[in-house]
Amino acid sequence: MKVKKAIVPAAGLGTRFLPATKAQPKEMLAIVDKPAIQYVVEEAVGVGINDLLIISGRGKRTIEDHFDRSFELEYYLENKGKFDELKEVRAISEMASIHYIRQRDPLGLGHAVLIAEQHVGNEPFACLLGDDLIAEDTPLLQEMLAVHERYGRSVVAVQEVPRQDIHLYGCIQPEWAEDNLARIVSIVEKPDPEEAPSNLAVIGRYVLTPEIFDALHQIDPGVGGELQLTDAINVLAREQAVYAYVFEGGRFDIGNKLDYLKATVELAQRREDMGEEFGSFLSDFVQRKRLV
């Protein structure tokens, strides 16, 4: 069955980015001039998914406002003859059918996915974490959807990380099927490096079959006292094949300050309107630092 819907969990408190996130959702932090979550929505729309459910929380109303019409702004832009800006602003509110539901308590990613059950129904769906950015020239989600269409099973994106960092992620035990595709034998949330079954870390892209909801109903709170999606995937992997797609492109966790800076630099440097000039600045900056 073709994937037509996506959910975007965006209810986290953003504590790693305080104080910037005290009154602003981390998903609304701008990468140059575009909020991070807009990149995520555009990624889904780019593969033909136009029905999105954003899982938000208290204090995140600006996400809804961003994807809504802004008649006062549009009126001002039109009267000032700023038609390029007007077209861009209107396109944001027209790019997809976006729905919202609040996760009332921070009970984990698994809980966020579970409250999307009624919206998704008995269909496969994509899940894109709202603070994970994938480089725009990387067709990760398209490739994951192709794997799902081939096998009819869930697909999880994974990436190699230094073993000392694996405690920050979910981690899989792989059974290799192809060079960049493995069946998940087991998956564990944030293992100690010495006990981790591999250095393949789960990142924020999933294509899930509706059976994941049955698995989520079966599990108890795990690491951090939260309902972990990782634990539900582990249950599902014992009942049917779940695949891990090994991703080697650019990925940025914009809840992490260093990754946020990397994303800003890399995406700015790729832009036609500023990339060349910004690249020259970066080269000059590096030269100046070498001379110090």
The per-residue pLDDT for 292 is 63
Residue 101: closest CA among 115, 114, 111: 115
Report residue 138's pLDDT band, with 50, 70 and 90 as the boundaries.
confident
The separation between CA 98 and the C-alpha centre of its own chain, rounded to angstroms, equals 16
The per-residue pLDDT for 48 is 94
In 33-112, at which residue ranges do the beta strands (DSSP E only) sit?
34-35, 51-56, 97-102
pTM of the predicted model, to two decimals? 0.91
- H/E stretch holding 127: strand 125-128
The per-residue pLDDT for 87 is 95
Say if CB 163 and CB 193 are below 8 A apart.
Answer: yes
pLDDT in tens, 139-148: 999 999 999 9
- The CB density around residue 23, as the number of other CB atoms within 10 Å, is 8
Residue 8: closest CA among 135, 96, 105, 68: 96
* Span 6-23, average pLDDT: 88
Rounded alpha-carbon distances, angstroms, from residue 58 to 61, 135, 211: 8, 29, 29
The per-residue pLDDT for 248 is 86
Domains located in the chain, CATH noted: 5-255 (3.90.550.10)
